[in-house]
Amino acid sequence: MPLGLVLTLGLLIGVAMSYPMALRLFTVGRTDMTGWQSALLFAAAPLAAAWRMVVLRPLYLYAMATCHRVNRWGTRSAVEVDLAVRGEPAGAP
């Protein structure tokens, strides 16, 4: 299967799946939005779906793939200061 076809189908499926996920936004009537604003929200759903698939999904997958490195997220490799030296009180110089 050509890569262009796979990408096109993936985009179409992602957009189609975004509508059921956002169904509550379209079915619940809101008093603070006019009909025009609701239609604009409905029309912007494919853009939100594309953003989710192109930007947010790869970030999510990267985070899942690198979560095993959580202990190396800090900037230091070792602790420089200890709370207390053995045999001395914590406040001693």
The percent of residues above 70 in pLDDT, for the chain, comes to: 73
Instruction: Work out the average pLDDT over 7-26.
Output: 76
pLDDT in tens, 42-79: 777 778 777 877 888 888 888 888 887 776 666 666 66
Residue 89 token pair: 């009180």
pTM of the model: 0.47
